[in-house]
């Protein structure tokens, strides 16, 4: 089972992100469960959502305490909320930022995790560019498809279009593709630097 | 058709497949998404003919459903928590009058302190009202139970409440198989009322009944609930034949055949319990699960049969009777009178506290080792409790309890983060 935890703020589509990921897994014929952290929803307040993906039906209902991947939609949460709680050494981290992990003061995290499983993507910028609104979720999921093998970009595009038919879906698909390319390039450069 | 849907949306679609003619509800978390989705299906003409009424309160919502049902319409509503309590008088009336209304209860804690999260306090508060109460384990079962609920309600002329855990199920997006309209139509024939307000053939419904007949009216209501103990498994079987999957019924068992310890529970916590039980089985413990789908009427015989050879029974409950203890446990213990098993209550998941597999494994492991007491509050923060007890002992004007505790928690939460920031 793959367990993904999303951290963001109310209004950034954190719940929708988990739902789109679950929908993409469903498109691929897998079982998936997405759910929010059930707070009293307030714009700007820290929000957590969860997504589990498996080949078998998922029975558990507990929140994800030991995620395989953490997606951070709002970089201002770094050092404010316990974002990496329960994340094992082979976990994935994707952060919505144009800064590096080191610049964010996360050097200790980089030490602890595998470099090819860490990535950053300026998802809010990409969303502004392609969608015209600072909603980073679809872009981050595109980045996640490049970072992990959780879902394919094609399945993700299907999910985005199902949830947001028409031009809004097209724009979010474009943002997801751009983020996917960005993360793939970033990982390629890092691998190249490591072998050089 | 297989869909990946939010629980609320899936239930709304299932309700629409049942062709209710009058829907009336008042929004309250975590039920709101259900009624919004039903409203949208009516507005877009996907559910028709159906009248969707906006009202000013839950009391009005169920009162409208009562009127509609008495006039011969198939009626549906949904609520949660304080909303259910606000309609309380009408809840008893719907049952007492024998009107087959179906209501979704998106289970939520009852205040004060105000809390929007899940537990079963609301369902337990109307346990004795005369409604049939069915509990869904997952969203597929929530869908299937609604389809069975309309049939059951109308067959017996009794209202049916389908309980699904608020947020945990209502807000979870997962795979559901939504049946086709033709199959639902074949399973659920048009409503033929046993009593109807018809100007062409006038009757009065809701007479005052004195001591001369009140006991008999109540006893007949009880008999009708007992009829449901026969009807529920029969409908579940018919449902399985038509739709190709088993859903509903009185109880469900999991790995109980040779179990010494059997965990009993209602609703969505059964999923996490089954995972915990698998882990304990792997560790060599003989443990199984009994899920109660029909809580009212309580399936005494089925429960007794399932627990007949257990050494110990652990009821995991998302509610409790303040000043006494377990609610489900009491029904289970009475059903098992004369059997050798000890009955233990584990109160868990109150007001939305997550019920984790780890905590369940620990408590069930203790149970198997004979170390579990009569009543246990899972993950209880005893430090917080003791602090407040000390405050109350030290100061007559110790202030409001909930606020004191929140202040304590905020203080202790602030310090570790300050450490991390440095």
User: What would the pLDDT profile of A137-150 be if each residue is shown by its tens digit?
Assistant: 999 999 999 999 88
In angstroms, the separation between the Cα of residue B183 and the nearest Cα of chain A is: 25
- Does A195 score more than 90 pLDDT? no
Which CATH number belongs to the domain containing residue B18 in this structure? 3.40.50.970
- Whether residue B160 sits in one domain with residue B34: yes
The CATH code of domain A2-195 reads: 3.40.920.10
Q: What is the pLDDT of residues A158-169, one digit of tens each?
A: 999 999 999 999
Q: Do A35 and B173 touch (CB under 8 A)?
A: yes
Residue A155, by phi and psi: left (phi above 0), alpha (psi -120 to 50) or beta?
alpha
Which long-range contacts link B417-420 to residues 24+ away (Cβ below 8 Å)? B417/A80, B420/A79, B420/A82
Contacts of A183 (CB under 8 A, 6+ apart): A94, A119, A121, A142, A143, A144, A146, A147
Q: Going by C-beta distance under 8 Å and a sequence separation of 6 or more, which residues neighbour residue A68?
A: A2, A3, A4, A88, A90, A91, A92
Nearest CA in chain A to B2: A26
- The backbone torsions φ and ψ at residue B359, rounded to the nearest 5 degrees and listed phi first, read -65, -40
Domain boundary among B196, B214, B243: B243
* Domains contained in chain B, number: 3
Same-domain check for residues B226 and B304: no
Which residue range is the domain that position B45 belongs to? 2-243
Instruction: Write out the two tokens for B22.
Output: 């009058």
SS3 A188: helix
Determine whether B59 is exposed, middle or buried from the number of CB atoms within 10 Å of its CB (0-12, 13-18, 19+).
Answer: middle
Residues of B in contact with A33 (CB under 8 A): 172-174
Contact A140, A120 (CB under 8 A): no
Torsion of CA B202, B206, B212, B214, to 10 degrees: 140
pLDDT (0 to 100) of residue A38: 67
How are the residues of chain A apportioned to helix, strand and coil, as percentages rounded to the nearest 5?
45, 20, 40
pLDDT in tens, A30-68: 999 999 986 666 788 899 999 999 999 999 999 999 999
Residues B26 and B144 in one domain: yes
> What was the pLDDT predicted at B417?
43
Residues belonging to chain A with any Cβ–Cβ distance to chain B shorter than 8 Å:
18-19, 22-23, 26, 31-36, 38, 40, 57-63, 65, 79-80, 82
Determine whether the interchain pair B4/A23 forms a contact, defined as Cβ–Cβ distance below 8 Å.
yes
Nearest CA in chain A to B352: A38
What is the structure's pLDDT at A41?
66
Q: In chain B, helix, strand, coil percent, each to 5?
A: 45, 20, 35
Annotated domain spans of chain A = 2-195
Q: Which residue has the tokens 């793959």?
A: A2
How far apart are alpha carbons B61 and B105 in whole angstroms? 13
Q: Tens digits of per-residue pLDDT, A99-130? A: 999 999 999 999 999 999 999 999 999 999 99
| B255 and B183 fall within a common domain | no
In chain B, which residues have pLDDT < 70? 414-422
- Same structural domain, B100 and B236: yes
B-chain CB neighbours of A62 within 8 Å are 272, 354-357
Do B354 and B404 belong together in one domain? no
pLDDT (tens digit, 9 = 90+) per residue, B101-153? Answer: 999 999 999 999 999 999 999 999 999 999 999 999 999 999 999 999 999 99
pLDDT at B418: 39
- Check pLDDT > 60 for residue A133: yes
Whether residues B74 and B220 share a domain: the answer is yes
């Amino acid at each position: 089972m793959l367990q993904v935890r999303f951290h963001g703020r109310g209004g950034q589509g954190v719940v929708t992100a988990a739902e789109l990921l679950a929908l993409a897994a469903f498109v691929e014929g897998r079982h998936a469960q997405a759910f929010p952290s059930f707070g009293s929803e307030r714009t700007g307040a820290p929000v957590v959502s969860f997504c589990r993906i498996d080949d078998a039906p998922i029975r558990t209902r507990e929140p994800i305490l030991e995620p395989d991947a953490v997606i951070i939609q709002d970089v201002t949460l770094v050092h404010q909320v316990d974002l990496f709680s329960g994340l094992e050494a082979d976990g994935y981290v994707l952060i919505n930022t144009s800064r590096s992990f080191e610049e964010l003061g996360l050097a200790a995290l980089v030490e602890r995790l595998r470099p090819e499983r860490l990535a950053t993507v300026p998802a809010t910028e990409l969303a502004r560019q392609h969608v015209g609104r600072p909603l980073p979720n679809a872009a981050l999921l595109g980045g996640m498809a490049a970072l992990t093998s959780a879902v394919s970009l094609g399945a993700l595009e299907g999910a985005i279009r199902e949830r947001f038919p028409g031009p809004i879906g097209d724009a979010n698909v474009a943002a997801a593709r751009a983020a996917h390319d960005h993360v793939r390039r970033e990982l390629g450069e890092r691998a190249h630097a490591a072998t050089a | 058709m297989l869909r990946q849907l939010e629980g609320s949306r899936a239930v709304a679609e299932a309700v629409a497949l049942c062709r209710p003619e009058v829907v009336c509800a008042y929004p309250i978390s975590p039920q709101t998404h259900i009624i919004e989705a039903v409203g949208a299906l009516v507005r877009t003409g996907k559910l028709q003919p159906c009248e969707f009424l906006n009202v000013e309160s839950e009391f009005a919502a169920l009162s409208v459903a009562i009127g509609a049902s008495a006039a011969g319409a198939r009626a549906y509503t949904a609520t949660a928590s304080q909303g259910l309590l606000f309609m309380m008088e009408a809840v008893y009336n719907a049952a007492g009058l024998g009107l087959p209304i179906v209501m979704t209860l998106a289970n939520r804690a009852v205040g004060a302190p105000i809390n929007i999260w899940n537990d079963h306090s609301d369902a337990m508060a109307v346990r004795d009202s005369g409604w049939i109460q069915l509990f869904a384990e997952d969203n597929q079962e929530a869908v299937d139970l609604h389809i069975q609920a309309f049939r059951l309600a109308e067959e017996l002329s009794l209202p049916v409440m389908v309980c699904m855990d608020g947020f945990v199920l209502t807000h979870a997006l997962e795979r559901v198989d939504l049946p086709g309209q033709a199959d639902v139509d074949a399973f659920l024939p048009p409503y033929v009322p046993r009593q109807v307000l018809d100007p062409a053939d006038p009757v009065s419904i809701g007479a005052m009944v004195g001591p001369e007949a009140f006991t008999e009216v109540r006893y007949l209501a009880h008999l009708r609930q007992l009829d449901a103990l026969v009807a529920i498994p029969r409908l579940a079987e018919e449902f399985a034949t038509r739709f190709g999957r088993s859903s509903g019924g009185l109880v469900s068992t999991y790995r109980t055949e040779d179990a010494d310890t059997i965990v009993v529970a209602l609703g969505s916590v059964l999923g996490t319990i089954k995972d915990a039980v698998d882990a304990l089985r792997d560790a060599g413990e003989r443990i199984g699960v009994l899920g109660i789908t029909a809580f009212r009427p309580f399936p005494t015989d089925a429960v007794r049969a399932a627990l007949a050879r257990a050494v110990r029974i652990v009821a995991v409950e998302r509610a409790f009777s303040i000043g006494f203890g377990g609610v489900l446990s009491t029904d289970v213990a009475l059903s098992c009178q004369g059997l050798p098993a000890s009955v233990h209550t584990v109160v868990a998941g109150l007001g939305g506290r997550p019920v984790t597999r780890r905590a369940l494994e620990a408590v069930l492991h203790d149970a198997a080792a004979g170390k579990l007491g009569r009543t246990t509050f899972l993950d209880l923060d005893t430090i917080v409790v003791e602090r407040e007890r000390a405050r109350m002992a030290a100061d007559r004007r110790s202030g409001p309890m909930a606020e004191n505790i929140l202040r304590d928690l905020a203080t202790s939460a602030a310090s570790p983060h300050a450490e991390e920031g440095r």
